[in-house]
Structure 1
Amino acid sequence: MNIKFDPNNAVIKLCMIGMGLEDSGNSEDAITMFHKAWHEATDDYERFIAAYHLARQQKSTIDKLKWMETSLQCAIKINDENVKSAYPTLYLNIAKCYEELGDSENAKRNYELSNSAKGAPSDIGPFYHGTKADLKVGDLLTAGGTSNYKSDLKMNHIYFTANINVAGLAASLAKGEGRERIYIVEPTGEFENDPNVTDKKFPGNLTRSYRSKEPLKIIGEVTEWAKLTTDEQGEWREKLAKNKGEIIN
């Protein structure tokens, strides 16, 4: 199974609406939206995401534990690179629930599972970088440039992703007059999960977004992908305007 995080997925959209309601202090409507997402979920990937958000909303520790364990079981059933980054977060939340319930044995076991699931990303790609820069195969992309989105922000890392939808978004929103481009890249050194997205809205790093201090080597270019409409670009630019630079750079 090869699942890609898609912000246009109906269940993910419902969860994002729920998070918006939550952010505005409307927790009752938020939980209604997460329940709707759960009932409309059609596979384990959608159920794993909906259950995680339902878990976060529970007032009772037992209910929170039940939903977190449901989310974890769905994630394990999927057994896909796209969800493995969520394991440490799910085990950690389960451990905290057991700790609150006074079950130190299960708490300890889940803390250990959370720690053992951590580590450097094991993603093998292919990896992509979206931009408007005109580059060629063999060129190196290096850290130290200015952000694609915030001209006063200097980047200490170079960012890339294994999700072509995310690279397409980065290309669409990048500064410059050139055409949108997605390059296929190869990391030349170690890389880590992008902390600007990891655990921020969804568990783990579902968008498979990474960053490195080492250069990325361009090994090819993607010519066909689903581009954003003008309206979608406008929506994302609005989100970025409200943002403090903590988004796919």
Structure 2
Amino acid sequence: MKVDPVLARIGEAVALHHGRGRRDDARRLFTQIWTEIGGERGDPLHVCVLAHAMADVQDGVHDELLWDLRALTAAGALTEADVARAGVPLTVAGLYPSLHLNLADCYRRLGEFTTAREHLRLARAGIGALGDDDYGRLIRTGLERIAEQLDPRDR
């Protein structure tokens, strides 16, 4: 299957950040791609994936939260056909645990614990959509970490 060129470029920016520690370069590339896709009016899959990644390169939790909320909104407009056509190895439902995990973390850091717990609950409710692979284990580990940071009763 042909790789979606926008998703490939987003992947390059993610690699700049996570693989090479070049956060500012990644943010510049994300910003360039964001402009090219038309921002929030762009293809919902591109908006979702880009906003989800852009959140990770923000300087403050409020900005991170705005990008995470954009990603969640865009996910709501996705269909299974959208993700399959782009060659994404997840279902639409498989996107939500990570989106809610990031939102739970943002709200926890903002001291909005009730909202953080709700996103933690939503992430856990959707975890069955993930496989027992590296990605699924990464999200599960993240959920346990957030639960521990919120309250031992959340484990």
Q: Determine what percentage of the aligned residue pairs are the same residue.
A: 26
Offset, 1:45 = 0.6
Task: Name the CA shift for 1:101/1:63 in 2 (closer, same or farther; >3 Å).
Answer: same
In structure 2, relative to structure 1, the CA distance for the partners of 1:197 and 1:118 (3 Å cut) is closer
Letter in 2 for 1:57: V
**What does residue 14 of structure 2 align with?**
19
Closer, same or farther in 2 for the Cα pair 1:95/1:197, shift >3 Å?
A: closer
Which of 25, 33, 37 is 1:29 aligned to? 25
Shift of 1:25: 2.1
State the structure with more CA Rg: 1
Against the structure 1 CA distance between its residues 198 and 12, is the aligned structure 2 distance closer, same or farther, given a 3 Å change threshold?
Answer: farther
Larger helix share, 1 or 2: 2
- Between the aligned partners of 1:83 and 1:57, the Cα distance in structure 2 is 24
1:84 matched to 2:123: no
Q: CA deviation at 1:40?
A: 2.3
Distance 1:57 1:20, change over 3 A: same
Counterpart contact for 1:14–1:36, Cα < 8 Å: no
Q: 1:68 and 1:86, CA in 2 relative to 1: closer, same or farther beyond 3 A?
A: same
Structure 1 57/101 Cα, relative in aligned 2: closer, same or farther at 3 Å?
A: same
Query: What residue number does 2:143 align with?
Result: none
Within a 5 Å distance, the mapping from 1:45-194 to structure 2 comes to 45-80=45-80, 82-119=91-128, 121=129, 193-194=131-132
**Tell me, which stretches of 5 or more residues in structure 1 are unaligned?**
1-5, 122-191, 204-249
Q: State the TM-score, normalizing by the size of structure 2.
A: 0.71
Root-mean-square deviation (CA), in Å? 2.4
Q: How many residues align?
A: 126
Flag the 1:15–1:194 CA change in 2: closer, same or farther, 3 A.
farther
Which letter maps to 1:21? L
